[in-house]
Amino acid sequence: MTPMDTSTATPDSAAGHPVVELDGIRMSFGGNVVLDDVTLPVRPGFTGLIGPNGAGKTTCLNVISGYLRPDQGDVRLGGRSVVGGSAHQIARLGVSRTFQTPRLIPHLSATENVLTGAGRHYRGGHLSELFGLPAARRDERRLRGQARDLLETFGLGEHPGRAASRFPIGSQKIIEVARALLNEPRLLLLDEPAAGLGAEDVDRLVTGLTDWAADRDAAVLIIEHDLELITRLCPAVAVLHFGRIIQSGAPADVLRDPVVVEAYLGADFAAGD
Ligand SMILES: Nc1ncnc2c1ncn2[C@@H]1O[C@H](COP(=O)(O)OP(=O)(O)OP(=O)(O)O)[C@@H](O)[C@H]1O
């Protein structure tokens, strides 16, 4: 394979219309150009976004989720431009994300933390809760059940009432993923979900995500340095290097591409690791 023109970069092993498309995104901080003409379609299923430290991966997630407004280019969610929308507005359109460092509420239980992801599908509000309105009570019961099911899906159903801070860091990261899923997102953005996880937690994560995605049309964009996880989960992967997409396609092809090997993986990998 040869390096790809960023204007046509497409993880072409994935099927279906893109759930989200980055189109010609440029993002700079001061004079520092961090994303340069990034075009990336993310289709239903799993797409990996890999690249060296500082390549601009988290910045891509921040642009998609409305935490950053790009200097140029468009972000289309289901074909509709969302550039300029706030993070809150974009979340309401069905975009969920996690962060590199888990942002759980330490004293709340695992279930309660997952429940904090409910926003979009929760009809109750402070007033209806206050007056104990039936719709709010029904929603809460349903959501509690879903939160517990999600913890089960990720193999963490044993201690739903335990405070988040009492779980090991790997489990906390997985609880954060479960929280992002309660919202039934059509687009899930995961920022290094496996960082700091042991092998058992990585298996929990992969199994849980695979089970969750199996009967849904959702798209999942995963930033990850664990290339084995990327290969297990993602039929499509794109490589960012110095803010540009330098290659995309099936992981087995992309990870063998000499341009990618040189840019990212280093001589050890090229030698056959
Ligand atoms: N808010 C910001 N202000 C200034 N510079 C920033 C900001 N956010 C990111 N950067 C810079 O943009 C570049 C890309 O950062 P980014 O976090 O997107 O990289 P990354 O590929 O996710 O890296 P890593 O794998 O280490 O997490 C870095 O040089 C970083 O210092």
**Two tokens at 237?**
């992967």
Whole-number Å distance between alpha carbons of 51 and 240: 5
Last residue of a domain, one of 158, 183, 208: 183
What mean pLDDT comes out for the span 75-101? 93
Atom number of ligand 1 nearest to Cα 62: 18
Does 191 share its domain with 70? yes
Q: What is the pLDDT of residue 137?
A: 75
Do both 194 and 161 map to the same domain?
no
CATH number (domain holding residue 113): 3.40.50.300
Give the residues across from 25 on adjacent strands. 38
Atom of ligand 1 at shortest distance to CA of 225? 25
Q: Does 86 lie in the same domain as 21?
A: yes
Q: Are residues 138 and 257 in the same domain?
A: no
Same domain, 268 and 193: yes
My answer on whether 177 and 194 are in the same domain is no
Residues 199 and 247 occupy one common structural domain: yes
Domain boundary at 149, 183, 217, which? 183
Domains of the chain: total: 2
169-182 vs 199-214: helix axis angle to the nearest 10? Answer: 10
Range of lowest pLDDT (161-175, 195-209, 258-272): 258-272
Asked if the model's pLDDT at residue 7 lies above 60, the reply is: no
Question: Which structure tokens are listed for 152?
Answer: 């089960």
**Residue found under tokens 């798209």:** 219
Structural domain span for residue 141? 102-183
Establish whether residue 60 lines the binding site of ligand 1, counting it when its CB lies within 6 angstroms of any ligand atom: no
pLDDT category, 215, cuts 50, 70, 90? Answer: confident
> How many other C-beta atoms lie within 10 A of the C-beta of residue 55?
24
pLDDT for residue 153 is more than 60: yes
Residues 71 and 189 reside in one and the same domain: yes
pLDDT band at 13 (very low <50, low <70, confident <90, very high): very low
DSSP secondary structure letter of residue 263: I
Q: Are 190 and 238 found together in one domain?
A: yes
Long-range contacts of 4-7 (CB under 8 A, 24+ apart): 4/245, 4/246, 4/247, 4/248, 6/36, 6/37, 6/38, 6/39, 6/244, 6/245, 7/37, 7/39
How far apart are the CA of 120 and the centre of ligand 1, in A? 29
Determine the pLDDT at residue 265: 58
62 in ligand 1 pocket by Cβ < 6 Å?
no
The verdict on 154 and 52 lying in the same domain is no
How does strand 187-191 pair with strand 219-223?
parallel
Q: Residues 100, 43, 199, 151: is their CA dihedral positive or negative?
A: positive
Would you place residue 101 in the very low, low, confident or very high pLDDT band (cuts 50, 70, 90)?
Answer: confident
* pLDDT tens track for 158-195: 999 999 999 999 999 999 999 999 989 999 999 999 99
8 confidence band (pLDDT: 50, 70, 90): very low
The pLDDT assigned to 10 comes to 42
- Pairwise CA distance, residues 206 & 194, whole Å: 9
CA of 55 to the centre of ligand 1 (A): 7
Domain boundary among 168, 183, 198: 183
Cβ neighbour number for residue 142 with a 10 Å cutoff: 13
Percent of the chain with pLDDT over 70: 85
Contact call for residues 134 and 183 (beta carbons, < 8 A): no
pLDDT at 263: 80
Residues 51 and 127 in one domain: no
Over residues 106-136, the pLDDT tens digits come to: 999 999 999 998 865 544 455 455 556 667 7
Same domain, yes or no: 204 and 89: yes
